[in-house]
A = this chain, B = another copy of it.
Amino acid sequence: MKPTPLLLLAMAALPGLAQTILSPEVGADRRVTFRFRAPNAKEVFLAREGAERLPMQKDEKGVWSVTTGVLEPDIYGYSFAADGVNLIDPLNPVMKPNLLNTTSAVHVPGPATLPWEVNDVPRGTLHRHFYKSAIAGDHRDYFVYTPPGYDPKAKKLYPVLCLLHGFSDDASGWTAVGRAHVILDNLIAQGKVKPMIVVMPLGYGTMEIVSRSAPPLRDPKLRKLSFERFRDALLKEVLPEVGKTYRVSKNRGQRAIAGLSMGGAESLFVGLNALDTFSWIGAFSSGGMGEDLNASFPKLDAKANAQLRLLWIACGKDDRLMDANRKFGEFLKSRGVRYTWIETAGAHTWLVWRRNLAEFAPLLF
């Protein structure tokens, strides 16, 4: 029988019966020790987000461990690659949830000025809504962030940011992993970001695109179907319902759409084709724009410049999607559309996207 929590407690109460292994252990010097018991594994590596993997060493009790160098304060996804299989750290309740590849996560704390650190500031609220989508044909959810002091009975109307997750994340991604609510709480408290309502929908027009046995995102037909149904679900189902439930402005000058990776491509696809609805667009490390940009953006031309308040395209220097983003920039130039180009440090990781949000949100509204 699997030990239940109370049985574990009983074991912990009897010295010597349970061996307490801690993982991860974050040192005061910001070196992190990871431990994983796998007595018969032949080789185990630590695979950490944004880093080369590190070999772990086994002790006489079958516990593999490794201590990193000094890490920059951040939140890092990681897993243990044991004989070629990526495993979640069974000793760590902190996860980086993902539909195809859930990993563990470790927080290396830093100064209060880092935007993702929880501070003693007024806090916003997260609301999770559930509905049956007629367009996608399934039961799904979306999250809404309301800023500190939001009062549904007050007259004030708030601007709206639609914030889209990446491929294989779900609607919880921007908060569970991205800490968008913490970042906004902090920046609002500092007066750097205008209080806004953030809508975080599920980014798939069909869940088929993210099933393990289905064709991948680069299947052009399935990609197109998913993007188009996602757009319709957002514009015809989610945003109208948000408009009924929350005090949101219907003025296009008060509407933004942004996202990361697949969500960046969706922000470009939805936003640039709906400039009557959005005037601020952000695309972080975009991927999945498709091969035929002319087909995806048939009417886009220099008239967009008068409608766009911001078209912000960011990518990390080490991101394998840099070329695709440069190519998209060239496409915009060919259509006479102006945009802001941001090259940051980093690869295709959440370390980049949390910083993207903290840089992008202050520019809005």
Query: Is residue A363 within 8 Å, beta carbon to beta carbon, of the partner chain?
Result: no
- Contact partners of A130 in chain B: CB under 8 A: 118, 123-125, 181, 185
Q: A9-B217, A125-B130 are in contact. Are A90 and B88 (CB under 8 A)?
A: yes
- A89-107 contacts to B, CB under 8 A, are 90-91, 93, 95, 97-103
The range of chain A's interface size is 35 or more
Q: Which residues of B contact A168 (CB under 8 A)?
A: 5
A53 beta carbon closer than 8 Å to chain B:
yes
Of B39, B40, B86, B118, the contact of A2 (CB 8 Å cutoff): B86
When distances are taken between beta carbons in the complex, the residues of chain B under 8 Å from A287 are: 6
**Known A-B contacts A101-B8, A212-B20; A38 and B83 likewise in contact (beta carbons under 8 Å):** yes
List, in ascending order, chain B residues with CB within 8 A of A126's CB: 127-128
In the complex the two chains form, is A212's CB within 8 Å of B101's CB?
Answer: no
Question: A156 at interface (Cβ–Cβ under 8 A)?
Answer: no
Minimum C-beta distance from A86 to chain B (A): 6
| B-contact 0/1 string along A211-247, CB 8 Å cutoff | 0110111100000000000000000000000000000
**Is B95 a contact of A216 with CB atoms below 8 Å?**
no
Chain B residues within an 8 Å CB radius of A9: 167, 216-218
In whole angstroms, what is the CA distance A129 to B122 when docked? 11
Known A40-B41, A85-B37; contact A102-B123, beta-carbon cutoff 8 A: no
Q: Which residues of B contact A336 (CB under 8 A)?
A: none
- For the complex formed by this chain, how many copies does it contain in all? 2
Is the Cβ of B87 less than 8 Å from the Cβ of A93?
no
- A139: contacting residue among B42, B52, B118, B167, CB under 8 A: B118
Give CA–CA (A20, B166) in the complex, Å. Answer: 22
**Beta-carbon contacts under 8 Å, A105-132 to B:** 118, 120, 123-132
Bound Cα distance A38, B218 (Å)? 30
A334, CB-defined interface residue at 8 Å: no
The answer to whether A88 and B88 have CB atoms under 8 Å apart is yes
CB distance from A325 to the nearest CB of B (A): 14
**Cα A129 to Cα B146 with chains together (Å):** 10
Smallest Cβ-Cβ distance to A103: which chain B residue: B2
* 11 extra interface residue pairs, beta carbon distance < 8 Å, beyond A93-B102, A126-B127: A2-B53, A8-B100, A8-B101, A9-B216, A12-B216, A38-B82, A39-B84, A88-B102, A95-B97, A123-B130, A127-B128
Residues of A at under 8 Å CB distance from B?
Answer: 1-6, 8-10, 12-13, 20, 22, 37-42, 47, 52-53, 62, 79, 81-88, 90-91, 93, 95, 97-103, 118, 120, 123-132, 139, 152-153, 166-168, 181, 185, 212-213, 215-218, 261, 287, 320-321, 348
In the A-B complex, the 3 residue pairs with the smallest Cβ-Cβ separation, listed nearest first, are A2-B47, A9-B216, A5-B168
Selected A-B contacts with CB under 8 Å, 7 pairs: A5-B168, A9-B167, A10-B218, A20-B212, A40-B41, A125-B130, A153-B153
